[in-house]
Every structure is written in structure tokens, then in C-alpha cells.
Amino acid sequence: MSFKLFEEISTLIPQDCGLTKIEAEGPQLVIYIKEIANFYKDPLLMNKIAAIAKKKIALRCDASVLKPEKEALAKIKSLIPEEAGVTNINFDKPFNEVVIEALKPGIVIGKLGMVSKSIILETGWTPRILRAPTSPSEVIKAIRNSMLNNSEDRKKFLTHLGKKMMTAASTKSNCEWIKITALGAFKEVGRSCLLLQTPKSNVIIDCGLNIDTSDPQRAYPLLNAMNLTFDQIDAVIITHAHLDHVGFVPYLFKYGYEGPIYCTPPTRDLMILLQQDCLHVMNSEGKGCPFDEKDIKKELLHIVTRDYGEVTDVTPEVKFTFYNAGHVLGSTSVHLHIGDGSHNLVCSGDIKYGKTMLFDPAETRFPRVDTLLMEATYGAKEDIKPTIEEAGAKIEQIIRQTVERKGKVLIPVLAVGRAQEIMLVLEEKLKDLKIPIYIDGMSREATAIHTVYPEFLRYNVQKKILQNHSPFESDMFISMAGKNRREIIESDQPCVILAPSGMLSGGASLEFLKLLAEDERSSLIFVGYQAATSMGRKIQNGEKEVPVMAGTKTNSVKVKLQIHTVDGYSGHSDRLQLMSYVKNLRPKPSRIIMNHGDEAKCEELARALNKVFHIKTDAPMNLDSIRLK
């Protein structure tokens, strides 16, 4: 921290507070004092400090005044009302914090923050209050335990990062040049990766896999083209937690990256879930995985979470802010303020600019936009999707007709996003059918994670979760944990099965397909994008016999069940929504660059945007570099 800033903050804090230390800890400043009650005498003091520092401020007691853990635990339990539903209390010594997990964290905070304030006043320990999932989550438990068990190492990392960020914030630079290099997902879908460079900055945005190809040349981002070692990368910024955007991040840590990974809190949890599953699946299929468990654990300790709207300094030339992208839980569009404002780049990420059951539409208002990097997944003129009301009516009709035939319905879903969207639809429309809806694979864990972050969901869903009426906890949803898939398929009872992966590229959905494929009474419903080379696209295109792996052998499966596609549930914007997104973007960019779409879709959307809005557009290929300044 600069001496000047230290002096300014120290002057504001009354001497009777007993200030012992001011420390940069990642993107926030932490103030340590001995007499916390004296600090609270001025209710505006924290705001005054934040105004000077222009950073989030955390207040902690000096370690010398902390009550012993056993005594503090008894006091904390007496202060928190029973209805808060506390599930866990742990002391995080390196941070002088007590971690409190509760089903109703608002009650732990208390009216005007009085309960949490009482905890720090009477024990010295600063409460870090976390929401507990409404259903058991092994991933949430593992993540929180890992963070706690490795707290000393994380503290060292954040302190080191904080010093670098303070230097970045205090160093102004009008950079001479800015360029981006396409390392994946340009004129294709999969392995999203972008390198942003200035004279003093190297920042990666997303680092994903293409899991729907058997060609190793197309599976991984083209990192060799950077001509950089991983220790030269300043930061990695993640837009959202789908494998085509995060699946290759642990590889960076395997080969020398030691810097921060920036993402939203739900993206962190979902990212770890998906990477662990990817590791398991790739190893179990004999493909081998480019990273292992210890790389994921190392990555976790380097993740720095940021909420929507928080400005974060990365280097002297780059700062960023996350905005809602409406795609999946915690998904973001990234606004990059480069070279002290000499250029502003918005990376849309995967966006949904339309009505969904789960999220508000993508944000379209930014401080400044010079260049927009925009997805084109559904960029062709024929990519017009039905409304969610029309889609809901169609999926309800297919399920009811299948149930009348005594058949079963398999819906392959992305575990993150589509599974939860479809669950809300079924919960609303099928209550009277009294049939089981089985939730398999990662969908169970991903759904539990959704209940930890209701503030990222649409208000009506958020409200239900906060009132302990989570639609995801309906009796109609049954976990497949401990159940036998074959027994369910061979039973006479109709049912609906939600199982990943959404493209039938492996996992639970493919296992169910093997069992159901020859049942003419049953139905398969596609509700999301099917990549060009995926199993899902083959079946969607009418193939009646498809190859599937059975151990080390390949068998043919005859497809006799009824095949349906219900558009309208994709987390991607359709053609009309993409055009509307640009129309409503404020301010208007002077340049739009397309990515994340098949070659023809990127080119067609680029032409349409240029013609309608008279904005310069580009549809570059992988390995192209574009100078922005």
C-alpha cells in the first residue's frame, strides 16, 4: 500500500481505536484494530475510509484481543436466534474470522446488522456469513473445507496479490497499443480463450475445452500461440462456469501459473464441480485428462471472487467490472477499462437477452464501449426461437403424450443452467401427473449450488428460496443417488429423467439412452444446443443407429424412441435477441467482433449488424490478432 494512502486512512481512524495494521488483501483493504467499539462510535467512518481508498473495506480485530475459540463459540451460539438454521461454525485463524453457515443468513446478520455486530463486539472474531444449501451439497462442503484447511496459504497469496493490485491502482499508464489474440472459439463453438495484451499486461479471458470432439487438435485452446510462459500471465478472468469456458483452467496451474482467477462466487463453485466431473469422466473413458485433482485444488486457492459492479484493478493498464449476462448462474459480461480509459472493451460472454425462468436478461448499459466482443451461437437469420411460453406448452404436450403411452421421457440437459430451467418448467406444469422426475448426475449438485446464491436468480425464484419454498425442493423431484438406472427403465411406471450431458457426449444421459433407445413408447427431448460433431446432433439429424462406447469396445445402438427438439430453453440469445441486444446497447460500440459461433453464423451476424447499425464488424478466425489501439 502507498504510504500516502496509509497516512490518509490512519488520520481518519480515532487513536482510541488502537489501529495496528492496514493490509491489502486481494482486491480489498483490511483494517486491524484493538478497540472495535470505539470504531463504531462514528457510523459513517467506514464510508469515509472507502471513499478515500476506492476499495471494499474489511474491519477485523487484532489477534491479541480475540476471545479463545471455545468461549467465543458459546457466545456466538447464544447471540444467533435458533430460527437462523445454523449448520456450521468454524474459526479461520489466519483471517481472524469466524465462518458461520446458515439456512437463513439474514437472521445471522440481524436487523441493521446488529447480530453480526454483536458477534464482533463480544468475541473479537469478525463473522463471515455464508448461506447453506437447502439440500446437501458435497461440492459446497468440499470447497469450504478446502478453503478453511488451506487458509494460511490463501492468506499469503491474497496478501501478495493485494500488494500487486495496490501498485496497479496507483500507477497510471496510457498504453501505446492494445491487441487481442483469438486462442479458441472463433468461428467455432468450444475451447473459448482470448488473450488481451498491452505493453505491460497479459490477461487471459476464459480458458475452455471442446469436449465434443475426438480431434486433439481442436480440443484445447491454442495457448502455444501466445509466445508467453504461464508465469508471464497477469490474470485469468472467467465469464461463466461451462466447460467450454473453464475446462482448461487447471492446466495453467499444472504448468506454472501462480496468479489470480477472477470470477463470481457461484461461478467458482460450479467451475470446481464441472472440472472435477470432467477429470473423472475423461479418466474413466480412458482418454486421460490434461490436469489432475491437485491442479484443481491449487486453482481453488487462487480464485478471487467479485460481484457484479465491483471494479477491480488487474495491472497498471487494465481494470475490469462484471455485469450480468443472463446465461447461467453467476454468468458475466466483462467490461475492461484499458490504458486509463484509452480503450473500453466489453466481452459479452455467453448472453441471454430474453425472458427465462431463472435469470434477468443480460445487461446492456456500460460506462463506455469502444469494442464489443460478442457471441454468435445463434447468429443465422433462421435462428429464431419460440418464446418460453410456447416452449413450455410444447414440452408439456410431449410429456403428457408419452405418459399416456406408458413411456418414459429422457431430457439431456447441461447440468448448469438448463437442468434448473427445465425443473422450474416441470414444477409449474406437471404437478397433477404425479409421476417421478429423476435428477441424475451433476444436476443434483448444481441445483444445490443454485440455492446458495438466490440473489443471482430472478426475483420470484429468489423470493421462494428465501421463504423456504424452493421450487427445486418439490416432492416431484427425486435424486438418482443410490438408485439403479436399469430398474427405473425396466419398471412399468412412466417418468421423466433429467440427466447430463446435454449433447449426449457422455455421462448419465448417454447411459440412459443406451437403456431407452429401442423403446418406441418413450421420448427423447433436446432442449439445448447440439454441437456439430456431438452424438446429440447425429440423433437430432435423424440417424437411426449410432455408435456408443461400452468399456473399450464400440457398440451400435438402434434409436427407436421418439425424437423431439424443443427450442426456447437455450441460455444463448437467438438471432432476434442478439440484434436487440446491440440495438439497446448503451453506449454504442464503434466495432463489434464475433466469436462463439459456427463459421457461417459468425459471418452472417457480422454482415447483418454492419448493415443495420452501420458499425464496423469482424469475424476473425482462431490465431488472428486484432489491434484495438
3 state SS of 511: helix
What pLDDT does residue 329 have? 96
User: Residue 561 corresponds to which cell in the numbers above?
Assistant: 424412441
**Which has more confidence, 304 or 568?**
304
**Residue 281: half-sphere exposure toward Cβ, Cα within 13 Å:** 20
**What's the rounded Cα separation, in Å, for the pair 425 and 566?**
13
Other CB atoms within 10 A of residue 4 CB: 9
b/e 201-213 (16+ beta carbons within 10 angstroms → b): bbbbbbbbbbbbb
Say what percent of the chain tops pLDDT 90.
Answer: 76
Rg (CA), the chain: 25
- How many CA atoms does the CB half-sphere of 335 hold within 13 Å? 24
Label residue 2 by pLDDT band (50, 70, 90).
low
How much is the pTM? Answer: 0.92
* CA distances in angstroms from 188 to 211, 415, 578, listed in the order given: 13, 22, 17
Mean pLDDT lowest among 19-23, 24-28, 71-75, 533-537: 533-537
Look at 75 and 168; give whichever has higher pLDDT: 75
Going by DSSP bridges, is the β-strand pair 523-526/553-558 parallel, antiparallel, or unpaired? Answer: unpaired
Residue % of the chain over a pLDDT of 70: 98
The pLDDT score that the predictor gives to residue 181 is: 98
Q: Which residues pair with 28 in a beta bridge?
A: 25, 56
pLDDT at residue 1, rounded to an integer: 57
Give tens-digit pLDDT for 91-105. Answer: 999 999 999 999 999
For residue 180, how far is the Cα from the chain centroid? 23
Q: How far apart are the first and last CA of the chain?
A: 31
DSSP state of 254: H
Domains along the chain with CATH numbers: 3-151 (3.30.300.20), 171-381+572-627 (3.60.15.10), 388-565 (3.40.50.10890)
Is the pLDDT higher at 217 or at 182? 182
194's enclosing H/E stretch is: strand 193-198
Q: Dump pLDDT digits (tens) for 493-532.
A: 999 999 988 888 778 898 899 999 999 999 999 998 787 7
Give dist(CA 343, CA 336) in Å, integer.
8
Q: How far is CA 408 from the centre of its chain?
A: 32
Q: For 435-494, what is the HEC assignment?
A: CCEEECCHHHHHHHHHHHCHHHCCHHHHHHHHCCCCHHHCCCEEECCCCCHHHHHHCCCC
For residue 128, the cross-strand partners are 99
pLDDT digits (tens, 9 = 90+) for 555-591: 788 899 999 999 888 889 999 999 999 999 999 999 9
Q: What distance in Å separates the CA atoms of residue 420 and residue 571, rounded to the nearest whole number?
A: 11
The residues, any chain, with a CB within 8 Å of residue 168's CB and separated by 6 or more, are 313, 314, 315, 316, 319
Predicted local confidence at residue 552, as pLDDT? 62
pLDDT band at 364 (very low <50, low <70, confident <90, very high): very high
Q: Could you report the per-residue pLDDT of 105-144, keeping only the tens digit for each?
A: 999 999 999 999 999 999 999 999 999 998 889 999 999 9
More confident residue, 167 or 177: 177
Average pLDDT over residues 326-333: 97
pLDDT of residue 178: 96
Q: What is the pLDDT of residue 550?
A: 64
**Tens digits of residue pLDDT in 406-444:** 999 999 998 888 889 999 999 989 988 889 999 987 888
Cell (9 digits) for 452: 446458495
| C-alpha neighbours within 13 Å on the C-beta side of residue 550 | 9
Over residues 161-178, mean pLDDT: 80
> In the prediction, which pLDDT does 441 show?
78
Query: pLDDT at position 173, please?
Result: 66
Q: Which residues are CB-contacts of 78 (< 8 A; sequence separation ≥ 6)? A: none
Computed over every residue of the chain, the mean pLDDT equals 93
Taking only the tens place, the pLDDT of each residue in 186-195 is 999 999 999 9
3-state DSSP call for residue 145? helix
Please, are residues 315 and 235 in contact by the beta-carbon 8 Å criterion? yes
Mean pLDDT, range 253-262, rounded to an integer: 96
Q: For position 169, what pLDDT does the model report?
A: 67
